[in-house]
Amino acid sequence: MDIQSASKVLDRDFTAFDTAKQGDVSKADGRISREDLQAVARNDGGRFTGEQQETARFLLDSETSRSFFDVGASRGSVDGTISRDDLNAAKDTLASGSYYDELLDTAAGRGGRDGNVSNDDIVAALSDPGVPQDLKNTLNLLLLAPQGSQGMHDVLKGLDSNEVAAASTLYGMPQFAALSGSDKRLVAEAMRDSGGDLAVNAKTRELLGSARFQSMTPGQRTAALTEIALVNTPQFTALPKSDQDLITTAVATARPDDLNAAASIKSLLESKDFAGLNGAEKTAVLSQVRNYPDSKVTGNIQRMLGKGWFKDFDIGDKQRALKLIAYMSYPRSGTNQTILDNTVEKFLAADATYSLKIESLPAPPGNVIFGNASDSTMRVNEDLISADNGKLENNPTHPEWATGLAVNTIPHEINHLINGDKVAPTYDYLNDEYRAWYVGYSAENGHPPSNKEALERWSYFVSPGGVYYDSAAKDALNNPDEAAKIFNELSALSGLKVDASNYKQVLADLASDTGKYKTDPNGPAVVPPGNLDNR
């Protein structure tokens, strides 16, 4: 006996049930009460068939089914009786094939059809012998989703019997039972978000049952299930196809060992900061997720979306900032990722105090200013980064400037901020500049500069006409104490004795012949004091 069979018997033998308690067909009141059902179940007077008795017992045992008929006409609350109108309406509902929301709406035996399947309704249904096992399995599956019983009415409303059967099958798979709790939640989420879609169900079952899945590590399993959950989230399905393609491409092109690629994108899509973006801004974000497919990149982008300074950007500067942070965050060989990661943290950590400002930076004629920093603000030259959704390294003009800005200038300038550098006509300030240059160089190249490269830098500091000469070195060289420190630095890098009388000649000799170094010109340069990793 099931609810469909019970419906047919009640419909066919309504009068018999209606008058069961009274024992007199002339005393029909048009309603089947609980006492009527009990009379049928007892077979009072030997007047009822076995099928009628079975139907009565089914309904007496199943409060869910009885309440479904009780409020079949969607009027009033459960009152313990089934009218003809209720029965006729229930018949129609059952015939539609989609009745699970109505069935569970009053499963707890209280209230009316209010469009709310409460937790009590679900608990009652799960313990109700009249509720089909397929539906119970489906409920148990759906309850594993993060939403739990919230909004269950809408989920059930969209399910048909085929989808319930498929969900039940999935729930019953031993491979599903063997999943971790979090993996089960991912499956449940996909089922719930997709409305029990048969294709999603089939894909999930195929995955769970595959030898490939069984041979995966736990992390790989989670990643595979997250991919399914991701593309069924309401946030994903609400995106234009072109944006969806950016996401699927990102997932497909992420490194195989990046097991959090899909999860990071899912987290991004579900974040309130992403939801608050307009369409063009979402495309800009997802473009960089696609350009630099990596969970760390995506996570950093998500954190940046929450920063006030990013929210204040117009679309062009949002595009520029996304390119910069994504490029800096993306792991690549040949850079010092530790310095770059630490630098990014200065902007994106929860307690970060540094902000990014993107603006045109004026420079003296014939010069270009890549960026500078003061008062916790890193300013980068917007003219060096095109406002589009492409890759930073594909900048239409001077792409090497754009990438250098990301992996050299920003670490350089942040190093100034971290160390609290102030301009002064002293060796110490020039050494601050050397340190910032050392850090920028190391970040960009993945190794510290050589003695030869460092000496070139110091040679620039002490060259008349240069910015650092004008602003600091000129006066420092005129101060014997400061000059002596500068010459000691040149000595340390070259291994030669350097003083005021010979420093220009020493530099000229070393520039023309590296064989004159007493240090290894290609060996690591003198390490400057101060913070060197931007942590």
Cβ–Cβ under 8 Å, residues 67 and 106: yes
Smaller CB distance to other proteins: residue 190 or 405?
Answer: 405
Q: How far is the CB of 261 from other proteins (least distance, A)?
A: 30
Smaller CB distance to other proteins: residue 54 or 475?
Answer: 475
In the list 365, 396, 480, 515, the residue contacting other proteins (rule: CB under 8 A) is: 365
Number of C-beta neighbours around residue 134 at 10 A: 18
DSSP labels, 447-502:
SPPBHHHHHHHHHHHTSTTSHHIIIIIHHHHTSHHHHHHHHHHHHHHHSS---TTT
Smaller CB distance to other proteins: residue 132 or 448?
Answer: 448
In the list 25, 95, 349, 423, the residue contacting other proteins (rule: CB under 8 A) is: 423
Residue 490 binds other proteins, judged by CB under 8 A: no
Q: Residue 31 phi/psi, 5° resolution?
A: -140, 140
Binding mask 315-354 for other proteins (x = CB under 8 A): ----------------------------------------
In the list 293, 299, 371, 528, the residue contacting other proteins (rule: CB under 8 A) is: 371
**Token pair of 110, please?**
């209280």
Q: In what order do the strands lie in the sheet with 355-359?
A: 355-359, 377-381, 371-374
Angle (nearest 5°) at CA 405 between 403 and 410? 130
Q: What sections of 127-210 are H helices per DSSP?
A: 133-142, 152-157, 161-172, 174-177, 181-193, 198-209
Smaller CB distance to other proteins: residue 156 or 405?
Answer: 405
Residue 101 binds other proteins, judged by CB under 8 A: no
Q: How far is the CB of 488 from other proteins (least distance, A)?
A: 20
How far apart CA 99 and CA 335 sit, in angstroms, is 60
Q: Residue 304 phi/psi, 5° resolution?
A: -65, -35
By CB under 8 A, what part of segment 401-420 binds other proteins? 401-405, 408-409, 412-413, 416
In the list 35, 511, 520, 535, the residue contacting other proteins (rule: CB under 8 A) is: 511
In the list 124, 207, 339, 373, the residue contacting other proteins (rule: CB under 8 A) is: 373
How far apart CA 54 and CA 59 sit, in angstroms, is 9
In the list 199, 211, 512, 515, the residue contacting other proteins (rule: CB under 8 A) is: 512
Number of residues that bind other proteins (CB under 8 A): 53
DSSP 77: B
Cβ–Cβ under 8 Å, residues 384 and 402: yes
240: helix, strand or coil: coil
Amino acid at 526: V
Number of C-beta neighbours around residue 296 at 10 A: 19
Q: How far is the CB of 304 from other proteins (least distance, A)?
A: 23
**Token pair of 128, please?**
């109700």
In the list 372, 479, 502, 531, the residue contacting other proteins (rule: CB under 8 A) is: 372
Number of C-beta neighbours around residue 445 at 10 A: 15
Per CB under 8 A, which region of 77-85, 177-185, 335-343, 365-373 contacts other proteins?
365-373
In the list 73, 126, 315, 361, the residue contacting other proteins (rule: CB under 8 A) is: 361
Residue 442 binds other proteins, judged by CB under 8 A: no
Q: Residue 33 phi/psi, 5° resolution?
A: -95, 170
Number of C-beta neighbours around residue 48 at 10 A: 21
In the list 460, 502, 516, 533, the residue contacting other proteins (rule: CB under 8 A) is: 460
Q: How far is the CB of 475 from other proteins (least distance, A)?
A: 9
In the list 25, 368, 500, 527, the residue contacting other proteins (rule: CB under 8 A) is: 368
The site for other proteins (CB under 8 A) is made up of: 361-374, 398, 400-405, 408-409, 412-413, 416, 421-424, 432-433, 436-437, 440, 444, 455-456, 459-460, 463-467, 470-471, 504, 507-508, 510-512
